[in-house]
Chain A
């Protein structure tokens, strides 16, 4: 697609970074993000549930063993970081890791594959990687943010939580500063979570698009190493999102 007629380079890039949108103003829906993330979620969690339903405590099959490895990795991380009743936190961490990993993995598809397939059906824009859409990353981080407050109030009760907000870390005399610190700290959590994932994936996708602009016979020189490196990136980003969520929720459970 490097020199297709009628498309300038910037148009090509712009085309690849435009979502398929429906609606006006704020009430716009990025159809590609919604459909891809929901479909992949359905697929991968359906697979997990299917394996889980017929999970045996005897000798596991290869698929079950693979899923068990992922699950035990998550369980170990939660156990190491999170002290207390981890009933809901561990499944949440697994959901985050698996979903983000799967969505990130869309990055490894050739950048033109999904737009071409969808183009054949008359759809003009299709961003294949949902995690390059800040709507998705912010939706996840804000859900985590909501859970942080939910557990803060559930564990410490409203009074205990307010007391902590006003007295930590400088003591009661410095209450306004404590409050200010707390606001900044808590706002930084969802913003950093969402922007880290979005930034990494967006930049990675951008590099793939730029590589796709090279002559066909040169693309593999940069494309292959970048894709291989990206296997690390997509796993790492999924892992970071998961581990930070565990840490934030662990902090919500513990008093300062």
Chain B
């Protein structure tokens, strides 16, 4: 069991990019250029860490491996879409990550006591909803890419291409507000800022358009879901059950 506990701890630690970014921002006083205080910036990156912990998705890698190894075949003849299995796995792992994420947050506040804040209950609930919607969006995006396995066998390569805009435009490396105005107007038309930036701003108490952000998240889910269903239905016709 020891190795499993260590593995879970490593998962949680592997998502600490936002803390590195916080360090880069504060050491270089970059926040001054966008009028965000040190405290608000550190809260933002802590929240980005939390949102990332509970919305990270790896379904494309799991599905690709299962598809190539023939493990998808028994799932396909059960009266449940195999993606529900992956969805349940993700939820289970999020619950497992929770205590480790809390421990990391505890140490964060030990070293940054001035950043400690308690969000009000309403904001906390909306942030949980928004983080879950972010998870749904990422799950749908990756599931669509995963379905390309029916055609290409190596859908994870396409996902890696998608990871680049996700990294830069989602708010993981920098708050979207730090981008020039004309770039921001374009970024907000994509799903990326609603993956990390919007829920992290909401939770950290930064100024944000709550109803607009939640509506965009729901809109993207409504756009992505039928696309997933269509690509799934077309893809399964191409399935060759290789490896089994």
| Same complex origin of A and B | no
The interface of chain A, by Cβ under 8 A from chain B, is none
